[in-house]
Structure 1
Amino acid sequence: MSADRDLVHILASHAADLRYEDLPEEARSAARKSILDTLGVILAASGMEPAVRGVMEIVAESGGRPDCTVLGFGGRAPALMAAMANGALAHCLDYDDQTQWGQHCASSIVPAVFAVAERQGGVTGKELIAAVAAGQDIFGRLRCNVEWKKDWNLSTVLAVFAATASAGRVMGLPASRIAHAMGIATMQSSGVMEMVAGRGSDLRGMYAGFSAKGAVLAAMMAEKGVTGIDRAFEGRYGFMNTYFGGGYDRAGILDRLGRTFLGSGTLYKRWPCVGTAHSHMKAAIDIVQENDLRLDDIQEIRLHVGDYHDLMCQPLDERRAPATLADAKFSLPFLVSVAIARRGMSVSDFSEPGLRDECVLAIGRKMTLVPDPSLDWKLEMPPGRVEILARDGRRWLVEGHDVPGNGENPMSWGDIATKFRECATVAFARLSPDALTEAIALADGLDGLDDATRLMHCLAIPSALPPS
């Protein structure tokens, strides 16, 4: 691991050389969970996010070799476009998994690895698990060790490299070719935080489609002999200097490489919205449930917010009543309002009529903000604090803990399977109960499959997308 050897080569070797047998069970389990969880969220998004319809129509009209499965809407497409379609769906509901430090990688990795696996054929379940685990580990190492100023959207800027490494591994590329692919992927590494923090854009939900497609393209180009960039990460004008002003911890990225796998700490969401809102939601639910508060009992709701929380609150009036489904999932006042009204949240809470729910909007009008720099986002996702004042003078200030799906209250395999079934019930084209049972069993026993793509095939349907 000489300092003369660019990180792109070291991480490429990590992906190429990693053996399934070298993975601890925690990393294997996280990969299996992420695969089933991501496929379920893709199915749900096909029925719950109207904006993705245009992407599916573009995929359908692009034609090409029908090598790969398009989930939710059905049909088949070339690997590039299948990765784009499934990736665009994977983050649409903000229901995909996340690292314990925030940001998302499986929504880029899983669509990419299945696309190249179907294109190639003969990929075992163990190979797929190892590829996903390698990508999750690479993403986590980069995420924890760059100086993020909340300017770039790390989920796409970093995930394209993780997904490229995973795709290259599935394709059986040697380390030198995966390094070339990761260099090529610098051309696909993009995304600004205004896409996330701004309002009115559908891109916030679809962004993983770009990194999944970019990863497949980079790996395919490297397979064909296209060369990348020798010092893609650490060159004078390389990734680290261009994106982070040279602010990265090389030793941290390489610490215990091949021995500790950061994907093991992946968090799986129980609520379909931005993860940095979950602690506030849990605090609000705890207050109203423990004190059996009704809307009329509440005089004011104060959200204590750090810097990133505040992004989800500005401008306050628009965040109380978001105009689009994509905005709703990133609007902290609206999300806390839904949590109070429902005393929880489900995937079916986000619909066009749901945006106009008068009970939810009335709760939002009671909200004010309390700036709190101690809640600024450094590395670990910051907690949320909610203060509720009752009309009779009672007052509660609670910090949200034991959030469903977080490290204190993780989701088991059974929880992931239940979520998968729930997601499938709102898909654009419904699958039979037998198909869902088979998918869960195949994902659970993925290690023993000679052909990992059986999991995709049991969820495949003919195209259900009517003409535009």
Structure 2
Amino acid sequence: MAADARDVSRSMAEMAATVTLDALSGPALEAAKMSILDTLGVALAASGVEPAVQGLVDLVGEDGGRAESTVWGRGIRVPATNAAFANGAMAHCLDFDDQTPWGQHASSSVVPAALAVAERVGTVRGADLIAAVAAGQDIFARLRCHVGWRKDWNLSSVAGVYAAAAAAGRVLDLPSTTLHHALGIASQQSAGIAEVITGTGSDLRCVYAGFSARGAVTAALLAQRGLTGVEMLFEGPYGVFNTYFGGRHDRDAMLADLGTDFRGAGTLYKLWPSVGTSHSHIHATIELLAEHHLEPEDIDEIRVFVGDYHDVMCTPLDARRAPETLVDAKFSLPFLVALAAVHRSVRVAHFTDAGLHDARVRSLAAKVTPVLDASLDWKLELPPGRVEVVTNDGRKFQREGSDYPGSQQAPTSWDQLAQKFRECAAVAAHPPTPANVESVIDLVRDLESVPDVAAIVRRV
């Protein structure tokens, strides 16, 4: 970076502070709206079915405080920082939230932060919420793609807190200088080691977005009160890029078309509640069994061809074949492939204590064998996995898992997302009425015309 150049964070803050609906392309606008509906939905489902998040949500309720913002699916209102904490944790804990085409999750940090602040402020227009979410998604994508990720940091939380702080700052209508301070303050909550993601037996993998959402709201509110941040946040000698990524980043690519090309437009929406890196193997398994009219009992072995990151979902193999928690089950490739083979789908309803110990699934998971294939290693985009089924009579069938539902090649439609929302809302701790469910879907689809976004969240 030239000695007189401004830090990247300055440019990002200016974009986020000034973005309006008119700047967004149709795909970026639709992506922001779809992410809002999707995030609300998966958090509602988590409120009712994921034990790992309940202690965190209960703590938020016990803390009480000013009734500023809604905890989705729980029927309570708490301070905005705590609402963002609870909703962010619920938004990711089923691993059902949206993702970028390159992996990692923006919206489970961005949307809870933006909506919590919107309720606190009051009378925030839908058009401004869309702009805020689109800005956050764009910043996240630019950071995701143009830093030298070593797979040792959890990028979803490391970068998510900045994306969410930008969105919260835009909802607060902070001027660009103040929003830049918010990004600097957010650095104090930019964290997340990859062991949280890859290790077994921990609940942290499912709740981490709560910490980045809460940190983002705190940062934006402190900046609004005059606390200053860090001038050279990203590119300083001891800034984010040098500290987290060994100085490896592409500044020009990160700033290219900033403010005109909003990269959240490529956001992908899951139709299966499991880690996104498993979906190609799940798809290949379902298609193979259907094409060749196979039943689980016909199978002698399932070989899953894996690159470096796929292999993380297979290690340690015995634990991945027989996960002991619902959190681990959603990140265990042998278990997920077996689940898909038995049920020909992967649904929220499969992740219960009974589902975790389903004898047919466990028996088949024991027959899943990972086969290392360096051509499937994760660079920028993760190559689709490949599956080979070996039958008891010696036949072999192989398929690549490209074009899985929800991928770039088979994107999720509004109708599919609406049905996903209905199914998620139905299992919330306090399910919204059917009328409120349909009202939320309609309001979000026409969000640019909504005068106050509180009308949406107070229905959930």
TM-score, normalised relative to structure 1: 0.97
Residue 4 of structure 1 is matched in structure 2 by 5
Distance across 1 between alignment mates of 2:426 and 2:451:
29
| Amino acid of the structure 1 residue aligned with 2:76 | G
Displacement of 1:428: 1.1
CA contact 2:403–2:409 (8 Å) conserved in 1: yes
Residue 274 of structure 1 is matched in structure 2 by 275
1:30 pairs with 2:31:
yes
Task: State the SS of the aligned residue for 1:158.
Answer: helix
1:389 pairs with 2:390:
yes
| Amino acid of the structure 2 residue aligned with 1:178 | L
The superposition leaves residues 23-59 of structure 1 with CA deviations (integer Å, 9 ceiling, x where unpaired) of: 1111110000000000000100011101211111211
Question: How many residues were matched structurally?
Answer: 459
Residue 174 of structure 2 is matched in structure 1 by 173
Where structure 1 has 5 or more consecutive residues not aligned to the other structure, the ranges are: 460-468
Residue 123 of structure 1 is matched in structure 2 by 124
The superposition leaves residues 388-407 of structure 1 with CA deviations (integer Å, 9 ceiling, x where unpaired) of: 11122211121102211111
| Amino acid of the structure 1 residue aligned with 2:41 | G
Residue 286 of structure 2 is matched in structure 1 by 285
Displacement of 1:410: 0.7
Task: State the SS of the aligned residue for 1:4.
Answer: coil
Distance across 2 between alignment mates of 1:369 and 1:447:
47
Residue 347 of structure 1 is matched in structure 2 by 348
Distance across 2 between alignment mates of 1:455 and 1:63:
22
Distance across 2 between alignment mates of 1:131 and 1:116:
11
Distance across 1 between alignment mates of 2:57 and 2:288:
42
1:183 pairs with 2:181:
no
Distance across 2 between alignment mates of 1:52 and 1:231:
36
CA contact 2:274–2:330 (8 Å) conserved in 1: yes
Displacement of 1:382: 2.0
CA contact 2:33–2:130 (8 Å) conserved in 1: yes
1:373 pairs with 2:359:
no
Distance across 2 between alignment mates of 1:243 and 1:40:
33
1:430 pairs with 2:421:
no
Displacement of 1:205: 0.5
Distance across 1 between alignment mates of 2:399 and 2:89:
36
Displacement of 1:18: 1.2
Where structure 2 has 5 or more consecutive residues not aligned to the other structure, the ranges are: none
CA contact 1:112–1:213 (8 Å) conserved in 2: yes
Residue 404 of structure 2 is matched in structure 1 by 403
| Amino acid of the structure 2 residue aligned with 1:208 | A
The superposition leaves residues 173-223 of structure 1 with CA deviations (integer Å, 9 ceiling, x where unpaired) of: 000001000000110000011001000111110010000000000000000
Distance across 2 between alignment mates of 1:295 and 1:94:
26
Distance across 2 between alignment mates of 1:373 and 1:307:
7
Residue 306 of structure 2 is matched in structure 1 by 305
Displacement of 1:296: 2.3
Displacement of 1:61: 1.7
CA contact 2:71–2:86 (8 Å) conserved in 1: yes
Give the 5 Å matches for 1:312-351.
312-351=313-352
Displacement of 1:368: 1.1
CA contact 1:276–1:382 (8 Å) conserved in 2: no
4+ runs of 1 displaced by more than 4 Å?
none
Residue 196 of structure 1 is matched in structure 2 by 197
| Amino acid of the structure 2 residue aligned with 1:119 | R
Residue 160 of structure 1 is matched in structure 2 by 161
Task: State the SS of the aligned residue for 1:299.
Answer: strand
Q: CA RMSD in A?
A: 1.0
1:17 pairs with 2:18:
yes
Task: State the SS of the aligned residue for 1:317.
Answer: helix
Identical positions, percent:
55
